[in-house]
Amino acid sequence: MELVYGHPKSLKPVQTKYCPGCGHGVIHRLITEVIDEMGMQEKSIILNPVGCSIWASLYFDFDSVQVPHGRTPAGATAVKRMLPDHLVICYQGDGDLAAIGTAEAVHAANRGEKFTTIFVNNAIYGMTGGQMAPTTLVGQKATTAPYGRDPVEAGMGYPIRVLEMLATLGGTKYLARGAVNNAANVRKTKQYIKKAFEAQMRGEGSSMVEILSQCPTNWAMDPVDSVGWVESAMMPFYALGEVKNELAGAGKEAGK
């Protein structure tokens, strides 16, 4: 009997610490499925900073590096330059990448550093208690914005579309946004991850896959309702699809 679906070799068979309904576990599986398909388990290194991503080393069955909050791209730059034949992955949340680590993310992308960032966007600070993040939507409530994000009167500013910002930089070659709220989007997101990993191993430049993910705990929602909120609230602002595709021989499908 042919085995057509099983537990990825690159993913440890352990119980998760993530909250019920969290999207991190699905994202972990997608990453490890692609690594297994590429035969890269022995040459993969993931860098995970402070935040919910700090637990990544518990689940990925390959090398990992713990870096200070927001400094993941700086660490990944060093690792990839020292080990150019390895698949180097930055695993970052929206607070880590778009707030504490904005400078590192922007300048590494502008230099065209040849690693791949998996950017988990749940529009909130997760592990630290549900504070407003750079990606928190206008009107969305957070512990530091109990009446909802107010960009004008309260001076809270506007949510940042990270991929669209990085698309203006010459060093970025592949930027795509997926989601893990339903089976169709999960499959599409896996395709984006694989395309980014393969581009990295060809040395084509900086790549990032942003993934819209549920955070029922800090959204104060039932897990089922949180899945719907990704589609009804997040996707209209953070459009899914390939934001930038300058890979060799590739077309563009922005907005799909």
CATH code of 47's domain: 3.40.50.970
The total of structural domains in the chain comes to: 1
Query: Is residue 143 one of the residues assigned to a domain?
Result: yes
Query: Is residue 12 one of the residues assigned to a domain?
Result: no
Query: Is residue 18 one of the residues assigned to a domain?
Result: no
Range of the domain at 152: 24-245
Query: Is residue 11 one of the residues assigned to a domain?
Result: no
Of 29, 68, 58, which Cα lies nearest the Cα of 213?
Answer: 29
Q: What is the pLDDT along the chain (256 residues), one digit of tens a residue?
A: 787 778 999 999 999 899 999 999 999 999 999 999 999 999 999 999 888 888 888 999 999 999 998 899 999 999 999 999 999 999 999 988 999 999 999 999 999 999 999 999 999 998 888 899 999 999 999 999 999 999 999 999 999 999 999 999 999 999 999 999 999 999 999 999 999 999 999 999 999 999 999 999 999 999 999 999 999 999 999 999 999 999 987 654 444 4
Query: Is residue 50 one of the residues assigned to a domain?
Result: yes
Q: What global pTM score does this model have?
A: 0.94
Query: Is residue 9 one of the residues assigned to a domain?
Result: no
Query: Is residue 109 one of the residues assigned to a domain?
Result: yes
Query: Is residue 40 one of the residues assigned to a domain?
Result: yes
